[in-house]
A = this chain, B = another copy of it.
């Protein structure tokens, strides 16, 4: 470490560049669709030449893969620990809903890409991304099951409820826009009630 924290180290700058490419590409993919975006388009948006992208990524699909990773791994790492926190299933579920929606918002561009362009991933990459999603879904289902056992939730089928809740939440990134009537906070709290209190049936027992 001959490098102070003021001037970013070489590896740090490289990482920054990679992230810049991924973010820029995600924005372009979201706007025009993965297939309609060429390497030269991504490069233009970053400010370099098309061929230079291959210094950072081995193929176009690797960039898409990086985008998809951020939207399936981050929620697992950041949101799921909330399900292990203290509190009743309903309280923990409310925490998850808030974190989930805020992540969808923070990464809304990447989420749009991740939801639509799965088919363009390599089979192996696709399998891995799917694995993350299935794991997340399983954890949500387990909390619902726990809430059902404790009597807080009243759904007949935890699996079905998990599908319903996750589809409801994930749909958010498809329609929410900053410049329309609804504020983020209003939607988040509205959804906490819709999901935890109503759909799952935990009356007024919220955190």
A194–B160 CB distance below 8 A: yes
Find chain B residues with CB under 8 A from A181 CB: 159
B174–A160 CB distance below 8 A: no
Interface residues on chain A, size class: 35 or more
B199–A33 CB distance below 8 A: no
B167–A172 CB distance below 8 A: yes
Bound CA span A167–B169, Å: 8
A31-56 contacts to B, CB under 8 A, are 32-36
Q: How far is the CB of A132 from chain B (nearest CB, A)?
A: 15
Bound CA span A164–B191, Å: 8
Total identical chains: 2
A194–B119 CB distance below 8 A: no
B33–A120 CB distance below 8 A: yes
Q: How far is the CB of A52 from chain B (nearest CB, A)?
A: 24
Contact partner of A190 (CB less than 8 A), chosen from B32, B157, B175, B201, is B157
Find chain B residues with CB under 8 A from A172 CB: 163, 167
Bound CA span A161–B33, Å: 29
A13 touches B (CB below 8 Å): no
Contact partner of A166 (CB less than 8 A), chosen from B116, B160, B166, B171, is B171
Find chain B residues with CB under 8 A from A34 CB: 35, 119
A168 touches B (CB below 8 Å): yes
